Chain A
Amino acid sequence: MNWLQNISITCFAASYAVVFFLEISRVFFDVSFRKYVRVGFAAAGLFAHTVFLILQGKLVLGSTGLWLGSWFGWCLATAWILALAYIWISARQPKSVIGLFLVPLILGLIGLGVGFGHENQFSPMRAKSIWNMVHGSALLLGTAIVALGFVFGVVYVVQSRRLKHKSPQSRHFRLPSLEWLQKSSEYSLIISTFLLAIGLVSGIAINWTNPADDTLSSGRIIAWSNPVIWSSGILFSWLLIVSVFNFCYQPSRQGRKVAYLVIASFLFLVLELAIVWWVGHATSDSNPDVAQRIEIQSVSEELHSVAGRLKI
Chain B
Amino acid sequence: MNLQVIGCSHHQSSVATREQLAFTQQQIKPFLNNYYSKFPNSEVVLLSTCNRTEFYTVANKPNSVPGKSELIEFIAEQRGIAATDINSEIFIHQDRQAVEHLFSVASSLDSMVVGEAQILSQVKQAYKLAVETNQTAALIHRVFQSAIRVARRISNETEIHTNRVSVPSVAIGVLAKQIFERLDNKKILILGAGEMAEETLRYAIHEGGKDFTIINRSIENAKQLAAKFDGRVGDWAELEKELAAADLVISATGATKAVVNSDQFDRVEEMRKQKPIFILDLAVPRDFEQSISDRLNVYLYTLDDLQKECERNRQSRQSHYPKAQKIIDHEADQFFNEIQRRSSGSTIAQLKRQADNAKQLELDRLMNRLEGVSEKQKSEIEQSFNRLVNKILHPPLKSLQTESPQVSGGLLEALKKLFQLGD
Nearest A residue to B156, CB-CB: A32
Nearest B residue to A183, CB-CB: B181
Q: How far is the CB of B34 from chain A (nearest CB, A)?
A: 46
**B312 partner residues in chain A, CB cutoff 8 A:** 168
**Docked-complex contact A251 and B179, CB < 8 angstroms:** no
Interface string of B148-161 (1 = CB under 8 A from A): 00000000100100
State the CA gap A250–B269 with chains docked (Å).
13
**Docked-complex contact A179 and B273, CB < 8 angstroms:** no
Q: How far is the CB of B324 from chain A (nearest CB, A)?
A: 15
Q: How far is the CB of B380 from chain A (nearest CB, A)?
A: 58
User: Using a CB-CB cutoff of 8 Å, which residues 219-276 of chain A contact chain B?
Assistant: 250-251, 254-257
Confirm or deny: A178 has a beta carbon within 8 angstroms of a beta carbon on chain B.
Answer: yes
State the CA gap A251–B276 with chains docked (Å).
10
**B305 partner residues in chain A, CB cutoff 8 A:** 166
Q: How far is the CB of B270 from chain A (nearest CB, A)?
A: 10
Q: Which residue of the partner chain, among A32, A163, A257, contacts B179 with CB atoms under 8 Å?
A: A163
Confirm or deny: A171 has a beta carbon within 8 angstroms of a beta carbon on chain B.
Answer: yes
Confirm or deny: B162 has a beta carbon within 8 angstroms of a beta carbon on chain A.
Answer: yes
**Docked-complex contact B297 and A255, CB < 8 angstroms:** yes
**Docked-complex contact A177 and B274, CB < 8 angstroms:** no
**Docked-complex contact B181 and A169, CB < 8 angstroms:** no
**Docked-complex contact B276 and A166, CB < 8 angstroms:** no
Nearest B residue to A30, CB-CB: B159
**Docked-complex contact A171 and B159, CB < 8 angstroms:** yes
**A255 partner residues in chain B, CB cutoff 8 A:** 274-276, 296-297
**B301 partner residues in chain A, CB cutoff 8 A:** 166
Nearest B residue to A255, CB-CB: B297
Confirm or deny: B291 has a beta carbon within 8 angstroms of a beta carbon on chain A.
Answer: no
**B203 partner residues in chain A, CB cutoff 8 A:** none
User: Using a CB-CB cutoff of 8 Å, which residues 9-46 of chain A contact chain B?
Assistant: 30, 32
State the CA gap A221–B182 with chains docked (Å).
52
Residue of B159, B175, B276 ringed by the most chain A CB atoms within 10 A: B276
Confirm or deny: B229 has a beta carbon within 8 angstroms of a beta carbon on chain A.
Answer: no
**A32 partner residues in chain B, CB cutoff 8 A:** 156
User: Using a CB-CB cutoff of 8 Å, which residues 143-184 of chain A contact chain B?
Assistant: 159, 163-164, 166, 168-169, 171, 175-180, 182-183
State the CA gap A238–B273 with chains docked (Å).
23
**Docked-complex contact A180 and B299, CB < 8 angstroms:** no
State the CA gap A164–B182 with chains docked (Å).
20
**Docked-complex contact A177 and B275, CB < 8 angstroms:** no
Nearest A residue to B293, CB-CB: A164
Interface string of B274-311 (1 = CB under 8 A from A): 11100000000000000000001101010001000100
Nearest B residue to A93, CB-CB: B181
Q: Which residue of the partner chain, among A30, A159, A182, contacts B178 with CB atoms under 8 Å?
A: A159
Q: Which residue of the partner chain, among B175, B178, B275, contacts A254 with CB atoms under 8 Å?
A: B275
**Docked-complex contact B273 and A163, CB < 8 angstroms:** no
**Docked-complex contact A254 and B274, CB < 8 angstroms:** yes
**B309 partner residues in chain A, CB cutoff 8 A:** 168
Confirm or deny: B180 has a beta carbon within 8 angstroms of a beta carbon on chain A.
Answer: yes
**B162 partner residues in chain A, CB cutoff 8 A:** 171
Q: Which residue of the partner chain, among A175, A178, A250, A256, contacts B296 with CB atoms under 8 Å?
A: A256
Confirm or deny: B174 has a beta carbon within 8 angstroms of a beta carbon on chain A.
Answer: yes
**Docked-complex contact B181 and A254, CB < 8 angstroms:** no
**Docked-complex contact A257 and B180, CB < 8 angstroms:** no
**Docked-complex contact B174 and A178, CB < 8 angstroms:** no
**B175 partner residues in chain A, CB cutoff 8 A:** 163
State the CA gap A176–B182 with chains docked (Å).
12
Q: How far is the CB of B61 from chain A (nearest CB, A)?
A: 43
**A30 partner residues in chain B, CB cutoff 8 A:** 159
Q: Which residue of the partner chain, among A159, A164, A177, A251, contacts B180 with CB atoms under 8 Å?
A: A177
Say whether, besides A251-B274, A255-B276, A256-B296, A180 and B174 are in contact (CB < 8 Å): no
State the CA gap A162–B89 with chains docked (Å).
48
Q: Which residue of the partner chain, among A166, A176, A180, A254, contacts B297 with CB atoms under 8 Å?
A: A254
**B159 partner residues in chain A, CB cutoff 8 A:** 30, 171
**Docked-complex contact B299 and A251, CB < 8 angstroms:** no
Confirm or deny: B163 has a beta carbon within 8 angstroms of a beta carbon on chain A.
Answer: yes
**Docked-complex contact A169 and B178, CB < 8 angstroms:** yes
Confirm or deny: B257 has a beta carbon within 8 angstroms of a beta carbon on chain A.
Answer: no
State the CA gap A159–B156 with chains docked (Å).
28
Nearest A residue to B177, CB-CB: A177
User: Using a CB-CB cutoff of 8 Å, which residues 197-233 of chain B contact chain A?
Assistant: none
**Docked-complex contact B178 and A251, CB < 8 angstroms:** no
Nearest B residue to A254, CB-CB: B274
**B179 partner residues in chain A, CB cutoff 8 A:** 163, 177-179
**A176 partner residues in chain B, CB cutoff 8 A:** 181
**A169 partner residues in chain B, CB cutoff 8 A:** 174, 178
Residue of B273, B297, B312 ringed by the most chain A CB atoms within 10 A: B297
Residue of B177, B179, B305, B312 ringed by the most chain A CB atoms within 10 A: B179
State the CA gap A248–B274 with chains docked (Å).
14
Nearest B residue to A182, CB-CB: B276
**Docked-complex contact A257 and B274, CB < 8 angstroms:** yes
Say whether, besides A168-B309, A168-B312, A251-B273, A256 and B297 are in contact (CB < 8 Å): yes
Say whether, besides A177-B181, A179-B180, A171 and B273 are in contact (CB < 8 Å): no
Nearest B residue to A181, CB-CB: B181
State the CA gap A257–B276 with chains docked (Å).
11
Residue of A171, A180, A250, A255 ringed by the most chain B CB atoms within 10 A: A255
Q: How far is the CB of B409 from chain A (nearest CB, A)?
A: 37
State the CA gap A218–B273 with chains docked (Å).
50
State the CA gap A257–B274 with chains docked (Å).
9
Q: How far is the CB of B301 from chain A (nearest CB, A)?
A: 7
State the CA gap A30–B316 with chains docked (Å).
15
**Docked-complex contact B178 and A163, CB < 8 angstroms:** yes
**B296 partner residues in chain A, CB cutoff 8 A:** 255-256
**B297 partner residues in chain A, CB cutoff 8 A:** 254-256
Given A171-B159, A182-B276, A254-B297, 4 further pairs, Cβ under 8 A: A176-B181, A250-B274, A254-B275, A255-B276
Q: Which 3 A-B pairs have the closest CB atoms?
A: A255-B297, A251-B274, A250-B273
Contact surface of B with A, Cβ cutoff 8 Å: 156, 159, 162-163, 174-175, 177-182, 273-276, 296-297, 299, 301, 305, 309, 312, 316
A-B contact pairs, 26 of them (CB 8 A): A32-B156, A163-B175, A163-B179, A163-B299, A164-B299, A166-B305, A168-B309, A168-B312, A169-B178, A171-B162, A171-B163, A171-B316, A175-B178, A177-B181, A178-B178, A178-B179, A178-B180, A178-B276, A179-B181, A179-B276, A250-B274, A251-B274, A254-B275, A255-B274, A255-B297, A256-B296
Contact surface of A with B, Cβ cutoff 8 Å: 30, 32, 159, 163-164, 166, 168-169, 171, 175-180, 182-183, 250-251, 254-257
